[in-house]
Amino acid sequence: MKKILLLCIVATVAFSCVKDEIPIPMALMIEELDLTLVAEGETYHNRFYTTSAAVNVVIPENAMEWLHAIVDDGYLVITADRNASIGIRASSLKIVTPEREATVNITQQGLPTKLIKITGGVPSSSQSNEGNWKNTWDGDYVSYWHSEYSPASAQYSDHLLQWDLESGTGSLDLVITYPRNNAGAANGRIGYFCIYVKGDGTDVPGGIEGEEPGWDWGDPLGSVDADGYKLVYKGDDTFKQNAYGGPTIMVLPTPISHPTGVKMLLRGGPAGATGISRGGHGSLAEMELYGKVG
């Protein structure tokens, strides 16, 4: 009797399974969801699997010029064109099926850089007993330059710093400044500042991309001074965040070909004005200039 009952139960279950089939969920699997690709350009085969016959790859419009992807024989084939900038660029692409989608994040490195040699220069003022001007390119991040304490005209006046560069440099793409970083370092910490560069084509006004900061001190971006230096970057008081500030890294919106000199104008006055350097003085531990390789 037990055997007969068991057979009936098995038969009923089998009949029910045939009649009420359970749909299988659609599968979508991608091996790598976060990729970092090299600046010179790279094609990466990302293992890919789906049970869907319909697959769509969606690339954001602002990345279509350099990022490409197709599905081919079990792989999502992702290609990034050469990144001609030193700056990292990033985007993402989506794999879309009727029931599922996945996002792959793409980061592409910038071109490697080389340090441009500084051969000399001059500041508008220098405090000889505290910080020599040459300290700004000696490779030592502890030693620093400081503007004069006196006469009174040296304080709360704008400070102009100029560096001469080794000839033969291909381009200037990146500027890194290191603030004074010892005890009491807040004195002279930089407020608003402008960076000028002299090189090929800088004698022509304009041609600098990017937005002006939300303040009107200094000349407009792209303007050229009497010595042929073009204003290529304007910055705020990022140097003044704390007593032991870190470096300020600036990727120039428009690289300068064959640079021969760099100027930095610091706002030192008048007293009480917005954006002045701490105490109206100026100080700087190191200036580093880089050009892209290749």
Tens-digit pLDDT profile for residues 255-268 = 999 999 999 999 98
Which residue is listed with tokens 């990033």?
90
Q: How far apart are CA 200 and CA 197, in angstroms?
A: 10
Which residue is listed with tokens 């079990």?
74
Q: How far apart are CA 136 and CA 113, in angstroms?
A: 20
Single-letter amino acid code for the residue at 230: K
Q: Catalogue the E-assigned strands of the chain.
A: 28-30, 34-37, 42-50, 56-58, 67-72, 75-80, 89-96, 101-108, 113-115, 118-123, 145-146, 159-165, 171-178, 193-200, 230-235, 248-266, 283-284, 286-292
Could you tell me which of 11, 68, 288 has the C-alpha nearest to residue 175? 288
Q: Give the per-residue pLDDT at 168.
A: 87
The burial class, CB within 10 Å (0-12 / 13-18 / 19+), for 256 is buried
For the four alpha carbons of 196, 201, 206 and 211, in that order, the dihedral sign comes to: negative
User: Which residues face 102 on adjacent strands?
Assistant: 95
Q: How far apart are CA 90 and CA 38, in angstroms?
A: 12
Q: What tokens appear for 13 in the block? A: 């279950």
Beta-sheet strand order (sheet of 34-37): 34-37, 101-108, 89-96, 56-58
Give the model confidence (pLDDT) of 212-252 as tens digits.
Answer: 888 889 899 999 999 999 999 999 876 654 455 678 889 99
Greater pLDDT, 247 or 172: 172
Could you tell me which of 236, 237, 205, 234 has the C-alpha nearest to residue 218? 234
Q: What tokens appear for 107 in the block? A: 């980061």
Q: Which residues contact 206 (CB under 8 A, 6 or more apart)?
A: 222
Q: Give the per-residue pLDDT at 112.
A: 92
Give the model confidence (pLDDT) of 58-93 as tens digits.
Answer: 999 999 999 999 999 899 999 999 998 898 999 999
The burial class, CB within 10 Å (0-12 / 13-18 / 19+), for 45 is middle
**What are the structural domains, with CATH classification, of the chain?**
25-108 (2.60.40.10), 113-292 (2.60.120.260)
Q: Name the DSSP letter for residue 39.
A: T
Give the model confidence (pLDDT) of 16-47 as tens digits.
Answer: 455 567 777 889 999 999 999 999 999 999 99
Query: For residue 14, is pLDDT > 90?
Result: no
The torsion region of residue 84 among left (phi > 0), alpha (psi -120 to 50) and beta comes to: alpha
For residues 269 and 134, the answer to whether their CB atoms sit within 8 Å is no
Q: How far apart are CA 240 and CA 278, in angstroms?
A: 8
Largest CA distance in the chain: 115
Q: What tokens appear for 95 in the block? A: 């794999």
Q: Give the per-residue pLDDT at 113.
A: 92
Could you tell me what percent of the chain has a pLDDT over 90? 56
Query: For residue 13, is pLDDT > 60?
Result: no
Query: For residue 197, is pLDDT > 70?
Result: yes
Q: What tokens appear for 92 in the block? A: 């993402």
Cβ neighbours of 65 (radius 10 Å): 8
Q: Give the per-residue pLDDT at 92.
A: 95
Q: What tokens appear for 125 in the block? A: 């003022």
